[in-house]
Structure 1
Amino acid sequence: MKKLFFLLAFLTTLFVAAPTFAHTVEKGDTMSEIARKNGLSLNQLAKANPHVKNIDLIYVGQQINTTINKTINTSDKPSVKTLSHKTNNTTQVSRGNERSEKISLSEAEIDLLARIVRAEAQTESFEGKVAVASVVLNRVDSPKFPDTVREVIYQRNQFQPVANGQINKPADEESRKAVFAALSDMRAIAKDALFFYNPDIAQSRWLDSRETTVQIGQHVFKK
């Protein structure tokens, strides 16, 4: 019995349960800093949060799980895939009641999407830029709009930067990062919005009557 007791005591020391809670991301937070404050390695934190597709892209208000079972000998690698800044990036979409399918964005489409983000949201926060990119992706996902990023952006009378030529200016780095964030779970920041506008300067008021999903900075997002 004494040997059994010591064996159980030894096995118990191999597993230490971390406190059960989640961290709510605040401005300036990084996954590395959250891991450090909770006594975890970045790999351990990444593995505990498979919903974070890119550990370099987290947003204010996001829930980060800091509860894991740690062992003395751990060499676990994060079970997440970092979004690559290359062609053929994919995001999961569904169209109406049809089954979910993957679509791919070429480098040209990513660049075009980043250019419309820069033109529409240059003075907005990073979250505001992500939300603008998400609206375009939501339209691609919707049966009410065209099926490609290019067709959505160049649809007649939809985006002012197309009419005034701002779409032709190169995208900045933050706008590109916002596109890749929108291709992750952060796309939900726009809350399924299909439209956005600045009510303070909008000449047409037809969006006023549509359901508001969220307001980020100067932009109001609508269904």
Structure 2
Amino acid sequence: MIKKLFISTIALASAFAFSFNVDAHENERVHEVSKGESLYKIGQKYGVSVAHIKEVNSKSGNEIVPGETLTIPYSVTEQDKELLARLVEAEAKGESYAGKVAVATVVLNRVDSDLFPDSVKDVIYDGYQFSPVLNGSINDPASEDSKQAVNEALAYQGHDRGSLFFWNPDKASNAYLEGKEVTTIIDNHVFAR
């Protein structure tokens, strides 16, 4: 009886230790730096901000060397990236690539802001914020361009002017938004904070 209890305890402890190790590595992956790469290019490839890569790797500068191994953290789930790409596609279809990156950046800035929910999904589905949610176009597939714009926005995260809003003044008029500080205008969209 004691032997069975001892074996069961060891098995349970081993299972717990194994699951702990899996969880510890679940939120990161490894990248070996190749010649010509930069932290920005690596961040864009994985959809992670440069600041987050630097933080996880205890880097204060941007210098990397070929052969160096970097830990790449996960930032948002693949499902959230896909959802954000569909929103970008619906909101910025026909706009430039820069406009698509800026739309994705607004959503990511909202996730980081105390004024909005704390996840990509919750920001996108937060009430009446985005017309594609209301008209169903959020369910249409995203183009490769929109998917790449999301990865670039993730890599660029934290280096913009803090835009939290955008609108097309030719399609919508809103005194609340028009009273915000304009951060940039790209194509047909005005971005503000």
Question: TM-score normalised to the size of structure 1?
Answer: 0.57
Taking a change above 3 Å as real, the CA distance of residues 52 and 123 of structure 1, as seen in their structure-2 partners, is same
Taking a change above 3 Å as real, the CA distance of residues 81 and 124 of structure 1, as seen in their structure-2 partners, is farther
Distance in 2 separating the partners of 1:130 and 1:194: 13
Task: Tell me the equivalent position of 2:5.
Answer: none
Letter in 2 for 1:202: A
Task: Tell me the equivalent position of 1:166.
Answer: 137
- 1:98-142 per-position Cα deviation (integer Å, ceiling 9, x unaligned): xxxxxx311111110000000000111111101100100000000
Corresponding position: 1:195 with 2:184? no
Q: Which consecutive residues of structure 2, in runs of 5 or more, have no partner in the other structure?
A: 1-33, 47-64
More helix by share: 2
Q: Over aligned residues, Cα RMSD in angstroms?
A: 2.6
Corresponding position: 1:152 with 2:123? yes
- What is the aligned residue count? 142
Taking a change above 3 Å as real, the CA distance of residues 110 and 208 of structure 1, as seen in their structure-2 partners, is same
Taking a change above 3 Å as real, the CA distance of residues 158 and 108 of structure 1, as seen in their structure-2 partners, is same
Distance in 2 separating the partners of 1:205 and 1:176: 32
Letter in 1 for 2:188: Q
State the SS of the aligned residue for 1:215: strand
Match of 1:108 among 72, 79, 95: 79
Q: How does 1:100-139 map to 2 (within 5 A)?
A: 104-139=75-110
- Comparing both chains, which one has the higher relative contact order based on Cα–Cα distances under 8 Å and sequence gaps of 6 or more? 2
Task: Tell me the equivalent position of 1:64.
Answer: none
Letter in 1 for 2:180: R
Distance in 2 separating the partners of 1:184 and 1:80: 18
Match of 1:219 among 178, 181, 189: 189
Structure 1 residue 201 displacement after superposition? 1.6
Match of 1:176 among 147, 150, 154: 147
Question: TM-score normalised to the size of structure 2?
Answer: 0.65
Please list every run of at least 4 consecutive aligned residues from structure 1 whose deviation after the TM superposition is greater than 6 angstroms: 80-83
- 1:13-48 per-position Cα deviation (integer Å, ceiling 9, x unaligned): xxxxxxxxxxxxxxxxxxxxxxxxxxxxx82x43xx
Q: How does 1:18-167 map to 2 (within 5 A)?
A: 43=35, 45-46=36-37, 49-54=38-43, 77=66, 90=74, 104-167=75-138
> 1:50 touches 1:80 (CA, 8 Å); kept in 2?
no
Structure 1 residue 200 displacement after superposition? 1.7
Q: Which consecutive residues of structure 1, in runs of 5 or more, have no partner in the other structure?
A: 1-41, 58-75, 84-88, 91-103
Structure 1 residue 81 displacement after superposition? 6.3
Distance in 2 separating the partners of 1:186 and 1:139: 11
Structure 1 residue 51 displacement after superposition? 4.5
